[in-house]
């Protein structure tokens, strides 16, 4: 996640200083744009076991890479390292791992991989990042391109039955929708939360909910954003929707209405959450800890809310009966996540069901 605003120093951002008084939030979108390509002559060629994906569960941009990696079955060829939900003034840290070090890269902070390649790296240390294991150097943090390359450049390593998340014949329609979702929704919630004036906030608020109303209408006529099965655009929208009621509604003041008050968006989000590869990557506790602890300019007390009640995520969505289709088309769902990839059961929607009924729901995965 890179929430750096124009004029801010990376250390300011890592300290939680995201708001510039009197200004609109402007995201720094300058990333390391190197790519891992299916070309043996490339600087960074596709090679199983060579690269490690560093992706924090708390971050929506990193969460995308986790979902796509799972859906395509790339777990055995691209390993994953997971920093904790918060970071210190230097960078994301591997505080969840034994001795506070990533077991493969041997580093305490993601910053070390950035500095291994760029000793004077001037920008924010962001996740997701793809790291070259032999050299310990960051390859790319360009999250927008990263998942597209997982679909195209790593195709020979996809699992049998993997979905085509970026089908060639739909790209002319998908690409503008991808841009719309990023500018208006993914980044739209941040424009609300980090607005530096009432005027900037009001403008961002109207823009966000205009976009959500547009998507609500689109999902009244189709099960998924592109039709009868999941694609890349569903992954990109889902990670924002998964955080909406838990964080953005209150913490970012996106409170015209909750996600649960949008009939189509809420049913669609539940449909995806209950689809293997989506909900089983969501750690609601880490999500709340990140936003409420790190953003000290918005939440100086760093108190993390106990709620909201998340049990609704497991309620029937009815979109299969209404529209038909299948998330994976003629393909298959991914296998259950590997132990290292498994979310703490206490941090899931199922835990809320268990609290009220005494029964742990596992059927949704």
Catalytic annotation, residues: 59, 190
Cα separations in angstroms, 165 against 45, 169, 199, 283: 22, 11, 38, 23
Q: Which two tokens stand for residue 30?
A: 């300058």
Distance of alpha carbon 102 from alpha carbon 106, whole angstroms: 5
> In the Cβ-directed half-sphere of 178, how many Cα atoms lie within 13 Å?
18
Please state the φ and ψ torsions of residue 344, each to the nearest 5 degrees. -55, 120
| Per-residue CA distances from 91 to 33, 294, 316, 344 (Å) | 20, 12, 40, 24
Residues constituting the chain: 365
Supply the Cα-derived Rg of the chain in whole angstroms.
Answer: 20
Q: Give the separation between CA 112 and CA 119, rounded to whole angstroms.
A: 9
Alpha helices (H) along the chain: 10-14, 60-72, 111-117, 143-152, 171-180, 188-193, 198-218, 232-243, 249-251, 263-273, 284-294, 319-323, 349-357
**How many whole angstroms separate alpha carbon 88 and alpha carbon 255?**
29
The phi and psi torsions of 348 (rounded to 5 degrees) equal: -115, 170
Q: Which two tokens stand for residue 39?
A: 């070309």
């Amino acid at each position: 996640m890179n929430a750096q605003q124009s004029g801010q120093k990376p250390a300011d951002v890592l300290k939680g200083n995201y708001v510039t008084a009197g200004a609109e939030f402007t995201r720094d979108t300058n990333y390391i744009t190197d790519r891992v390509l299916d070309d043996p002559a490339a600087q960074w060629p596709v090679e199983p076991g060579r690269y490690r994906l560093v992706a924090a569960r708390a971050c929506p941009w990193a969460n995308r890479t986790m979902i796509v990696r799972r859906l395509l079955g790339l777990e055995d060829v691209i390993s994953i390292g997971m920093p904790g939900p918060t970071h210190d003034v230097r960078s994301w840290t591997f505080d969840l791992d034994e001795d506070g070090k990533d077991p493969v890269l041997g580093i305490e902070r993601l910053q070390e991989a950035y500095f291994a390649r760029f000793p004077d790296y001037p920008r924010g240390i962001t996740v997701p990042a793809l790291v070259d294991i032999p050299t310990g150097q960051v390859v790319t943090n360009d999250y927008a391109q990263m998942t597209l390359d997982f679909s195209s450049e790593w195709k020979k390593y996809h699992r049998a039955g993997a979905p085509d998340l970026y089908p060639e014949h739909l790209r002319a329609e998908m690409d503008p929708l991808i841009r719309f979702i990023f500018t208006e929704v993914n980044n739209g919630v941040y424009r609300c939360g980090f607005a530096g004036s009432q005027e900037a906030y009001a403008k961002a608020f109207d823009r966000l909910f205009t976009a959500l109303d547009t998507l609500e209408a689109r999902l009244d006529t189709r099960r998924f954003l592109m039709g009868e099965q999941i694609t890349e655009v569903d992954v990109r929208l889902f990670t924002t929707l998964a955080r909406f009621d838990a964080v953005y509604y209150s913490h970012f003041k996106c409170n015209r209405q909750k996600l649960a008050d949008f009939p189509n968006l809420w049913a669609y989000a539940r449909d995806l959450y209950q689809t293997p590869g989506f909900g089983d990557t969501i750690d609601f506790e880490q999500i709340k800890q990140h936003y409420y602890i790190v953003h000290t300019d918005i939440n100086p007390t760093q108190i993390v809310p106990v709620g909201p009640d998340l049990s609704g995520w497991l309620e029937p969505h009815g979109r299969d009966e209404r529209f038909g289709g299948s998330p994976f088309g003629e393909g298959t769902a991914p296998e259950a996540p590997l132990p290292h990839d498994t979310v703490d059961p206490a941090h899931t929607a199922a835990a809320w069901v268990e609290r009220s009924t005494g029964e742990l729901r596992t059927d949704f995965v």
